[in-house]
Amino acid sequence: MHCGLLSYHAYLSQDKQEYVLSKQLLRSGTAIGALIRESEYAESRAEFVHKLRIALKEANETQ
């Protein structure tokens, strides 16, 4: 997933000169893994679920 994401980011920013969209795509795409990793160390079930829900929102935004 990340290779495709990075390639698409490069395509948008270099070939199409679309900087705002490409930066947002990169942010939301890389946030997914970070949020899932962070959820593994949640201090409560509620925090775990909350972080996974945010990751799902980021995944939907990236799609």
- Terminus-to-terminus CA distance in the chain, angstroms? 11
pLDDT digits (tens, 9 = 90+) for 7-56: 766 777 777 776 677 777 778 888 899 999 999 999 999 999 999 999 99
Report the distance separating Cα 25 and Cα 62, nearest Å. 6
The structure tokens 């990169």 sit at 26
CB atoms within 10 A of CB 45: 8
Inter-residue contact 29 to 3 (CB < 8 Å): no
Say what the pLDDT of residue 39 is: 96
